[in-house]
């Protein structure tokens, strides 16, 4: 029997009005991104209830490394998901099924390798991250739980979410992430303040996060079983290896996605290292801000995740009008979200900061940082929106160029430049300054290299 997608999934790609198809794909994706944000923030929130800035700083140090595991998920999940959507647009469902198998086993391999490496080289990695005498033990406890032990469940659940969304099942793709996030929020206070002895709150938060990701993975496995043995998404190695061109296409999009996400996290590591040179309270403050500013960014990521399968399908099927309408509506929605976030954060910066810690000095510093960093929100959205578009087109080299240029040419050098000129607040202003240049470049590249819909038609069987 042949692999298949349901009539409902076909309608999402082909027949529903673009606005309704976007709502169907974007709303679950945005919801899951917000829950991911909330459960990431939950650890900081509950750790902050100890009113110990060193615990907050310790968990903040591990955030970039934890996000690297998510970037590894992007290699297999975004690379595989983009290819699957394009193959479905070409009506090559059997090849799409083989790509899903390849992507899942690739995810397991790279996650296991990353977790093993973190376990073996924990001490030097913590030194590089800037863990000091007051934060080292907390950072180590958290990293052991969420990366060494929880690495494979985290990566695999995120890859499954991307692959399931790529076939039009955005609701199921998002439900697993939401389930894991809500469970983490519930388990955090239980492990931190009830089950673990005082002084081990960070360890409790790490255990809660690990267990939550395991449950999310279990949910996705159940979803695959219920979808049936003929589903496009499969774990069965008996299906065989995909074509060489398909494998290269997975890496062609997945590797640039992973590299750009890695550079994003490197930017966070550098901010932490430069900020801790001023004080550990400044590190705690910027750690809070880097979480709070993720709210509009995660909404924007959800918009991009919901948009990408629709754009990829329409592009491969040669439906130019539907593709352009999808791009326009998604872009406008993301910019509206960014504008609203600027207003809210400018007005209520102290209130948002106080959600995480009550220390007045840390709150005052975090509020100042937040009011500056939020100005970059629309610029950041447009930067990664353009990258997602080229991933949907399968143009990995262009998305890699944009990602590497953004971080290695603009953002990271701007951190060092503005820090040397303006000090601590130069670090805070670097994002808006660098992303202004990034957006100008992105728009020029999009205008120049935007491919013609249907240009993949020659690759059909």
pLDDT given for residue 379 in this prediction: 95
On whether residue 5 sits in a domain, the answer given is no
In a domain, 426, yes or no: yes
| pLDDT recorded at residue 211 | 94
Task: Copy the structure tokens of residue 94.
Answer: 């059997």
Quick one: pLDDT at residue 120?
93
Do the Cβ atoms of 187 and 27 come closer than 8 Å? Answer: no
- Dist CA 441 CA 61 (whole Å): 31
Residue among 46, 103, 126 nearest 258 (CA)? 103
Give the count of beta carbons closer than 10 Å to the beta carbon of residue 103: 28
Q: Which of the residue ranges 56-70, 134-148, 259-273 has the most confident prediction, judged by mean pLDDT?
A: 134-148
Is 13 within the bounds of a domain? no
For the beta carbon of residue 136, count every other beta carbon within 10 angstroms. Answer: 18
The burial of 225, by beta-carbon neighbours within 10 Å (0-12 exposed, 13-18 middle, 19 or more buried), is given as exposed
Contact assessment for residue 302 and residue 33, using Cβ atoms and an 8 Å cutoff: yes
Evaluate if residue 296 carries a pLDDT over 70: yes
The answer to whether residue 1 sits within a structural domain is: no
Q: Please check whether residue 247 is in contact with residue 79, taking contact to mean a CB–CB distance below 8 angstroms.
A: no
Digit-coded pLDDT (tens) for 219-256: 999 999 888 887 888 888 888 889 999 999 899 888 88
Is a pLDDT exceeding 50 seen at residue 400?
Answer: yes
452: pLDDT confidence band, cut at 50, 70 and 90?
Answer: low
247-274 pLDDT, tens digit each: 998 998 888 888 887 887 788 778 888 8
Using CA atoms, how far apart are residues 75 and 107, in angstroms rounded to an integer?
Answer: 8
- CA 413, 415, 419: angle at the middle one, nearest 5? 120
145: in domain = yes
Question: Which pLDDT band holds residue 34 (cuts at 50, 70, 90)?
Answer: confident
Whether 205 is in a domain gets the answer: yes
Domain that holds residue 92: 18-459
**C-alpha span between 402 and 384 (Å, rounded):** 9
Cβ neighbours for 157, distance < 8 A, ≥ 6 positions apart: 176, 177, 180, 213, 216, 217, 219, 220
Helix (H) or strand (E) holding 87: helix 53-89
162, part of any domain: yes
> CB under 8 Å to 234, separation ≥6 — which residues?
3, 97, 100, 101, 224
Could you tell me the sign of the dihedral formed by the alpha carbons of 327, 330, 335, 338, in that order?
Answer: negative
* CA-wise closest residue to 337 among 286, 284, 305, 381: 381
Q: Residue 6: its pLDDT value, please?
A: 60
Q: Please tell me the least confidently modeled range out of 143-157, 353-367, 400-414, 428-442.
A: 353-367
Q: Is there a domain that residue 8 lies in? A: no
How large is the average pLDDT for residues 396-424? Answer: 91
Number of domains the chain contains: 1
């Amino acid at each position: 029997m042949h692999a298949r997608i349901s009539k409902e999934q076909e309608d999402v790609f082909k027949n529903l009005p673009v606005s309704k198809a976007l709502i169907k794909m974007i709303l679950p994706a945005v919801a899951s991104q917000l829950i991911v944000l909330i459960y990431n923030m939950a650890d900081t929130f509950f750790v902050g209830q100890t009113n110990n800035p060193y615990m907050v700083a310790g968990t903040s140090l591990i955030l970039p490394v934890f996000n690297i595991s998510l970037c590894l998920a992007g290699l297999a999940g975004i690379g595989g998901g983009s290819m699957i959507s394009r193959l479905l647009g070409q009506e090559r469902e059997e090849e799409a099924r083989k790509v899903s198998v390849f992507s899942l086993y690739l995810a397991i391999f790279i996650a296991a390798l990353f977790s093993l490496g973190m376990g073996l080289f924990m001490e030097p990695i913590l030194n590089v991250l800037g863990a000091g005498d007051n934060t080292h033990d907390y950072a180590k406890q958290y990293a052991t739980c969420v990366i060494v032990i929880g690495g494979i469940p985290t990566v695999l659940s995120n890859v499954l979410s991307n692959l399931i969304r790529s076939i039009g099942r955005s609701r199921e793709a998002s439900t697993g992430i939401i389930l894991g996030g809500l469970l983490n929020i519930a388990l955090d206070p239980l492990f931190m303040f009830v089950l673990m002895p005082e002084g081990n709150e960070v360890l409790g938060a790490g255990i809660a996060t690990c267990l939550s990701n395991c449950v999310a993975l279990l949910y996705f496995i159940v979803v695959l079983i219920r979808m049936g043995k003929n589903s496009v998404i499969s774990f069965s190695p008996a299906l065989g290896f995909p074509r060489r061109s398909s494998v290269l296409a997975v890496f062609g999009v997945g590797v640039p996605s992973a590299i750009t996400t890695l550079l994003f996290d490197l930017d966070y590591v550098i901010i932490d290292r430069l900020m801790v040179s001023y004080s550990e309270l400044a590190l705690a403050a910027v750690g809070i801000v880097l979480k709070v500013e993720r709210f509009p960014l995660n909404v924007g990521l959800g918009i991009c995740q919901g948009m990408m399968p629709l754009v990829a399908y329409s592009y491969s099927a040669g439906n130019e009008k539907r593709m352009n309408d999808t791009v326009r509506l998604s872009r406008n929605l993301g910019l509206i979200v960014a504008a609203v976030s600027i207003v809210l954060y400018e007005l209520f910066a102290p209130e948002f900061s106080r959600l995480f810690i009550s220390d007045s000095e840390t709150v005052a510093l975090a509020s100042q940082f937040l009011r500056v960093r939020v100005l970059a929100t629309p610029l950041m959205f447009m930067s990664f929106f353009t990258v997602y578009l080229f991933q949907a087109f399968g143009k990995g080299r262009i998305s890699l160029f944009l990602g590497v240029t953004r971080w290695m040419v603009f953002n990271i050098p701007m951190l060092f430049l503005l820090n040397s000129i303006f000090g601590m607040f130069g670090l805070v202003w670097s994002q808006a300054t660098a992303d202004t240049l990034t957006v100008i470049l992105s728009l020029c590249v999009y205008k120049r290299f935007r491919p013609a819909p249907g240009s993949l038609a020659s690759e059909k069987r």
